[in-house]
Amino acid sequence: MIALDVKKKNVLTTPFSFVATGTSIVHAGGIPDFVDVSAIDYNIDPRGLGANLDNGTKAVLPVHLFGRPAKIDEIRDRVGNDARIIEDAAQAHGAELHGRKVGSLGDAGCFSFYPTKNMTVGGDGGMVTTNDKRVADDIRKFRDCGRVSRYEHDVFGFTSRLNTANAAFGRVQLKHLDEWNERRREIARRYLSKLNDVEQITLAPMDGKDSRSVYHLFTILCQDRNDLAKHLDAEGIDNAIHYPIPIHMQPIYRETYGPKQGKYPIAEDLANRMLSIPMFPGLTDEQVDTVSSCIIDHYGGN
């Protein structure tokens, strides 16, 4: 964000993500401006960009949520060359849109190697991808104290270097990323086959003809989320809520920017009804079947 100079400029993003998505804009001196998500794929809805795009808009920050690629091509059609596109690919290592990997679709892509991601570095870490040499050079300086030589610094930088041990860990993980992602797809398809007839839930969006998700999470929507979560807990099945408070409803955002409840209704509805069920490459078919059977039993199925 700093390399793209968003200071005092609007950056459009989704309210349905982890809070760091919006906060990156704030730390760079920009102004987060939200656009509601699509009820189909849970990513930022390109149709909502036009109403928010103005001369003060510097960039768009779409999130490839839960590993499903956002519609970057439609976003580009909406914003043209008036705004830069920065992909939040923190949950989407290896995902593809039209045969291209995410992180190569916009002006820059940002990946997280936090321990829960599809690949990690044995701790905190991240990566930026870009084909813009100036942006790449600026980011290299920002991550290393603004350094242009050992003791010369021409910008206010940070200490954000990935250490060698963590990087080595990540290089080994990267060799297995494709196989792990394919296993996640197999698990998603198995959940679909087992749960597709449960009328009380809506399953996570599956791959379309032009996109390949990496299913960082597998989510379902239901009206009785808390009751279902308690039922899963009682059976020893882990589950989680992503994300119960949309970014615009976080206390600091309400205090600073004043967005009101109801402004982004789809994001708020997802926050109230979404539940994540087990998804990781080591999950066995038998375990997937056990989770599915528990959900079916909760709703009185056979």
Q: What is the 3-state secondary structure (H, E, C) of the chain?
A: CCCCCCCCCEEEECCCCCCHHHHHHHHCCCEEEECCECCCCCCECHHHHHHHCCCCEEEEECECHHHCCCCHHHHHHHHCCCCEEEEECCCCCCCEECCEECCCCCCEEEEECCCCCCCCCCCCCEEEECCCHHHHHHHHHHHECCEEECCEECCCCCECCCCHHHHHHHHHHHHHHHHHHHHHHHHHHHHHHHHCCCCCEEECCCCCCCEECCCCCEEEEECCHHHHHHHHHHCCCCCECCCCCCHHHCHHHHHHHCCCCCCCHHHHHHHHHEEEECCCCCCCHHHHHHHHHHHHHHCCCC
CATH class of 178-298: alpha beta
Same fold, 10-165 and 178-298: no
| Per-residue pLDDT tens digits for 60-70 | 999 999 999 99
Is 131 exposed, middle or buried, given 0-12, 13-18 or 19+ CB atoms closer than 10 A?
Answer: exposed
Model confidence band, residue 31 (pLDDT cutoffs 50, 70, 90) = very high
Residue 231 has pLDDT above 70, yes or no: yes
Percent of the chain with pLDDT over 70: 100
Q: Which CATH number fits domain 10-165: 3.40.50.2020, 2.30.110.10, 3.40.640.10, 3.40.50.11540?
A: 3.40.640.10
**ω into residue 264 within 30 of 0, thus cis?**
no
Average pLDDT score over residue span 218-230: 98
At 212 the pLDDT is 97
User: What is the predicted pLDDT for the residue at 123?
Assistant: 92
Q: Considering only 2-11, 50-59, 89-98, which range has the smallest mean pLDDT? A: 50-59
Is 70 exceeded by the pLDDT of residue 302? Answer: no
What is the band of 140 on the pLDDT scale with cuts at 50, 70, 90? very high
User: What is the model's pLDDT at position 55?
Assistant: 74
**The pLDDT value given to residue 52:** 77
Question: In terms of C-beta density within 10 A (0-12 exposed, 13-18 middle, 19 or more buried), how is residue 159 classed?
Answer: exposed
Q: What is the pLDDT of residue 1?
A: 94
- pLDDT for 221 equals 98
Q: Are 113 and 138 in contact (CB under 8 A)?
A: no
Per-residue confidence band for 270, with pLDDT thresholds at 50, 70 and 90 = very high
63 vs 219: CA distance, rounded Å:
16
| pLDDT for residue 237 | 98
Please say if the pLDDT value at position 273 is more than 70. yes
Task: Please work out, in degrees rounded to the nearest 5, the angle formed at the alpha carbon of residue 64 by the alpha carbons of 49 and 226.
Answer: 100
> For residue 175, what pLDDT is reported?
98
**Is 109's pLDDT higher than 90?**
yes
Single out the residue of 119, 107, 168, 114 nearest to residue 281, CA to CA.
Answer: 119
172-207: pLDDT as tens digits: 999 999 999 999 999 999 999 999 999 999 999 999
**How are beta strands 100-101 and 96-97 bridged, if at all?**
antiparallel
Whether this model's pTM surpasses 0.85? yes
Q: Where are the domains of the chain?
A: 10-165, 178-298
